[in-house]
């Protein structure tokens, strides 16, 4: 039976990428050595890192003056690195609180200085994106989270920012076109649209660094990794390689512009069924619904066992909602084929019948 993987992350990857990655683990570059046992300083892997960085710049149209890094520690380490590198001693930062991960980022920033929350959707269990807030001009930076995997909300537009603009794009990077020049720092864990867990993409404007007056630990200083081209310490070789393969797959597909159209088609298909079918209801405000994470509930909990049996029998996996929301969550990242979404819709309609 074919499996339909709706997991929120680590998530589905293109089959051709998995095949190439598996081959490389056994025999990389026809050298009869595994990818994961070669030196990260060797020419073959240095070329992998360079190709991955070039693909990021090409697919996102990254302007001159920005560095592309592949780091470790996940987005959770970036919660710490951002204030370390951008908040001045005695300074302050502005954040929006749109869910679990934003809340964790705020908690880390508070350890460094005055951290104000300018937009907060906690009052409705994060089912909408705050709007109309004002970002103080004297803040060292403003931080937002573009897509919220747990609550199924997504920023469709970004606010005017009078200071440095920082964004956690872990769950929707490469899913839609963005204007990189509007941001000063973007970070994203790889395990949604880019590759397996283990590496974190950072795109940072070089000129914003080194201005805090802080004594930053070497490993947590972005300039350290820029100077060493993401190889200050042993990089996550496998995660970077699979990310490179995934970006090559995306480029061959037509790039970000093409995948954005496909993602819109997929999310429209599923949301239309949720809105049409009386047995289901969405959890996020319609104008803020995520194209990556579709969260929904049964309108009659008595049908839960029947629905769970149906989707399990069809090979669907990973659609149980997060415990803070309940219900169901279908994560439909770049690699999710529209055929799998149709399978889920067929199950929803079968329950209705």
Query: Known catalytic residue: 249?
Result: no
How does pLDDT run across 236-265, given as a tens digit for each residue? 999 999 999 999 999 999 999 999 999 999
Which residue from 142, 216, 149 is spatially nearest to 189, judged by alpha carbons?
149
Do residues 86 and 23 share a domain?
yes
Given a cut of 80, is residue 1 above it in pLDDT?
A: no
pLDDT higher than 90, residue 332:
yes
Q: Is 211 a catalytic residue?
A: no
Query: Between 170 and 324, where is the model more confident?
Result: 170
Please answer whether residues 278 and 299 qualify as being in contact, where contact means their C-beta atoms are separated by less than 8 angstroms. yes
Same domain, 286 and 207: no
CATH of the domain at 309: 3.90.1150.10
The CATH number of whichever domain residue 111 belongs to comes to 3.40.640.10
State pTM to two decimals: 0.97
Catalytic residue among 20, 140, 168, 266: 168
Residue 331 placed within a domain? yes
212-222 pLDDT, tens digit per residue, is 999 999 999 99
Report the number of distinct structural domains present in the chain. Answer: 2
182 and 36 share a domain?
yes
Q: What is the average pLDDT value for the chain, to the nearest integer?
A: 97
Distances (CA, A) of 206 to 63, 202, 210: 11, 12, 9
Domain termination residue (choose one: 220, 236, 253): 253
Residue 168 annotated among the catalytic residues of the structure: yes
26 found inside a domain: yes
Cis ω for the linkage preceding 351 (within 30 of 0): no
Q: Which of 20, 140, 184, 192 is catalytic?
A: 192
- Quick check: is 7 in a domain? no
In which residue are the tokens 């908040």 written? 87
Q: How confident is the model at residue 130 (pLDDT cuts 50, 70, 90)?
A: very high
Residue 36 lies in a domain: yes
From the candidates 101, 140, 172, 288, give the one annotated as an active-site residue: 101
Same domain for 143 and 272? no
Which residue among 211, 230, 253 closes a domain?
Answer: 253
Instruction: Write out the residue range of the structural domain in which residue 275 sits.
Output: 255-352
| 202, 309: one domain | no
**One domain, residues 306 and 179:** no
Q: Is the pLDDT of residue 112 over 80?
A: yes
Give pLDDT, residue 2: 83
* 249 and 275 in a common domain: no
Do residues 249 and 134 both lie within one domain? yes
Q: Please count the other Cβ atoms lying within 10 Å of the Cβ belonging to residue 223.
A: 15
Q: Helix, strand, or coil here: 129?
A: coil
Summarised one tens digit per residue, pLDDT across range 311-326 is 999 999 999 999 989 9
Domain boundary residue, one of 253, 285, 319: 253
For residue 1, tell me if it sits in a domain. no
């Amino acid at each position: 039976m074919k499996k339909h993987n709706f997991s929120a992350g680590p998530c589905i990857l293109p089959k051709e990428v998995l095949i190439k990655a598996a081959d490389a683990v056994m025999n990389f570059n026809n050298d009869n050595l595994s990818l994961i046992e070669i030196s990260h300083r060797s020419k073959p892997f240095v070329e992998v890192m360079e190709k991955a960085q070039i693909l990021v710049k090409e697919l996102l149209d990254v302007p001159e003056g920005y560095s592309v890094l592949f780091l470790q520690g996940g987005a959770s380490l970036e919660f710490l690195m951002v204030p370390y590198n951008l908040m001045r001693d005695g300074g302050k930062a502005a954040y929006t609180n749109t869910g679990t991960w934003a809340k964790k980022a705020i908690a880390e920033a508070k350890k460094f200085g005055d951290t104000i929350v300018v937009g907060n959707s906690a009052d409705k269990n994060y089912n909408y994106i705050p709007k109309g807030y004002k970002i103080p001009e004297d803040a060292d930076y403003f931080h937002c989270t573009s897509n919220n995997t747990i609550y199924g909300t997504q920023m469709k537009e970004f606010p005017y920012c009078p200071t440095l603009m920082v964004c956690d794009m872990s769950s929707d990077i490469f899913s839609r076109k963005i204007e990189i020049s509007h941001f000063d720092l973007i970070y994203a864990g790889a395990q949604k649209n880019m590759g397996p867990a283990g590496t974190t993409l950072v795109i940072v404007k070089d000129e914003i660094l080194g201005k805090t007056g802080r004594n930053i630990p070497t490993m947590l200083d972005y300039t350290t990794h820029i100077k060493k081209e993401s190889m200050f310490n042993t990089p996550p070789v496998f995660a970077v390689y699979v990310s490179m393969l995934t970006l090559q797959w995306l480029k061959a597909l037509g790039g970000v512009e093409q995948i954005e159209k496909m993602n819109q088609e997929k999310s429209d298909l599923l949301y239309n069924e949720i809105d049409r079918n009386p047995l289901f209801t969405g959890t996020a405000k319609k104008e803020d619904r995520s194209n990556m994470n579709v969260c929904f509930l049964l309108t009659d909990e008595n049908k839960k066992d029947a629905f769970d049996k149906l989707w399990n029998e069809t090979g669907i996996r990973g659609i149980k909602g997060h415990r803070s929301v309940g219900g169901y969550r279908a994560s439909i990242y770049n690699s999710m084929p529209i055929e799998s979404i149709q399978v889920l819709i067929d199950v929803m309609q079968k329950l209705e019948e």
